[in-house]
Amino acid sequence: LSLRPQSQSFTMSPVLVLGAAGVVGFGVCHAWLLEPDAHVYAVDNRKEALDNLAERLGLANIQDRLHLIPGDIATDGEQVKATVEKELAKNNHTLLHVVSAIGCSSPDVGGSLSASHALEKVKETYEKVLFPNLLATTMFLEMIRNVEGASYTVAGGPFTHHCPDKSLYNTSIESSF
């Protein structure tokens, strides 16, 4: 599976990446920015991680193509949407692709759960994963609803929104096959 854009129209269009500083969002940003004319509008609720995204990506000449938008969809959704719209207009771009990589930071590990603990986990999952994704879909799907060729992708699962350790992307992986 490749996250790299395949067609000319796909690479020339801007992408909005929600959860951009996490593992999945980072990979999407990196793959998109490998294309010389691609623009990435990166949103994340962890401002410090988002501010370090360009450095972590390690790609040259992306400062004009990587647009950082700090904000929390769950608490500042309308403000985030307004900022995205403002940035798109400023750059004369029409949004065509959205990738939502808002997810949990770690998997639920542990033994058996009591009923009250299980209920807390359900509430936490709703507040941190499901609710922000529902809000994001409501807000950003509307922006691309009538755009031919538009796409909306949701990626999730354990560690989706975990901030990758620098050692994970600065090492080579060797196979014994």
Residue with tokens 């395949």: 6
Q: Taking Cα atoms as reference points, which of 24, 62, 16 lies closest to residue 162? A: 24
Which pLDDT belongs to residue 9? 45
The per-residue pLDDT for range 22-45, each reduced to its tens digit, is 888 999 999 999 988 899 999 999
As a whole number, the mean pLDDT across the chain is 78
Please tell me the predicted confidence (pLDDT) of residue 171.
34
**What global pTM score does this model have?**
0.75
Contact between residue 141 and residue 98 where contact means Cβ atoms under 8 Å apart:
yes
Q: Is the pLDDT of residue 168 over 90?
A: no
Per-residue pLDDT of 79-125, as tens digits, reads 999 999 999 999 999 999 999 988 655 445 455 567 777 777 777 76
CA 129, 138, 41, 87 torsion: positive or negative? negative
Residue 170 has pLDDT above 50, yes or no: no
Q: What is the pLDDT of residue 111?
A: 52
When pLDDT is cut at 50, 70 and 90, the band that residue 167 belongs to is very low
